[in-house]
Structure formats: structure tokens, C-alpha cells
Amino acid sequence: MVIKPENKAELGTLEDANHRTINKYILPGQVESCQLVMGLTHLEPGSVWNTMPSHTHDRRMEVYLYIDIPEDAFVMHFMGEPQETRHIIMRNEQAVISPSWSIHSGCGSRNYSFIWGMVGENQAFDDMDGIDNRDLL
């Protein structure tokens, strides 16, 4: 599949440990679906944070499938309400579901990739409610 240039984004910085490339595959104008939006994010070497600062999606849920994680590495996936976060240790080819009310972000012991899928009533990629890092507990 060829990704349209506007559906590929380079975000973050190495200084913030979140330099990443987002490839949006299933979304309006690329590949049509009634509720699914899906893509792949790859963190560059030296970067370990995805989706930071974290956010929620009021009108959809999201799933991450973590990949490209060496056997001796892991990702700490953070989830839950911003005022009561929890974490789960993720290994290669493991998936985690984040309901609409839950934050979702991860920090790895090294760089990695993840396939993400969102489903719900809204397919706008940037429809999210950001959570300030100072508001996380």
C-alpha cells in the first residue's frame, strides 16, 4: 500500500525521547471504513516514549499491538483515568486495549513500533483530549 504524503507524519524530538514516524493506513481518504482508523508508529533509535503527552478519546477506544521489541526489552504501557493511572508491562507482539476514558502512552526500555487501531463514532485522527503531564497521578 502506498501512503499518501499527508498520511505520514514525523513527530516529536530526540531531546524529548519521542521522535517517531506515524503511518496512517486506514482512514477517510486513504482506505475507507465505517468506524476503523488504523496505522503504524515507529520510534526512532534513542526514542522511547509514544503518545506523550498522553490523551484520551471521548468518542472511541484504541488498541496498541507492540512490535519490534527485542526479547530482553519491554514497554511500560500507562493506562487508566488521568488521576489514577496504572501500568502494564508489554512484550513483543502483545496487545492492550484502552477504553475511551483511559489514557494510553508507553515508554520502552529501547525504541520499538506499534500498530494502533481506533474504533468508534468518529474517524478524525486528531480528535483527542490532551492530558497535561502535571495532571497525571
Residue 6 lies in a domain: no
Residue 43 lies in a domain: yes
Domain CATH code at residue 70 = 2.60.120.10
Q: How many domains does the chain have?
A: 1
pLDDT at 109 over 90: yes
Binning pLDDT at 50, 70 and 90, where does residue 1 land?
low
41-93 pLDDT per residue, tens: 999 999 999 987 787 777 788 899 999 999 999 999 999 998 999 999 999 99
Rg of the chain, C-alpha, whole Å: 14
Give the type of residue at 98: S
The residue among 115, 43, 128, 126 whose CA lies nearest residue 82 is 128
pLDDT at 107 over 80: yes
The pLDDT of 16-29, averaged and rounded, is: 92
Residue 55 pLDDT: 76
Find the domain containing 23 and state its range.
12-122
Buried b (16+ CB within 10 A) or exposed e, 36-56: bbbbbbbbeeebbbbbbebbb
DSSP assigned state of 134: G
Residue 135 lies in a domain: no
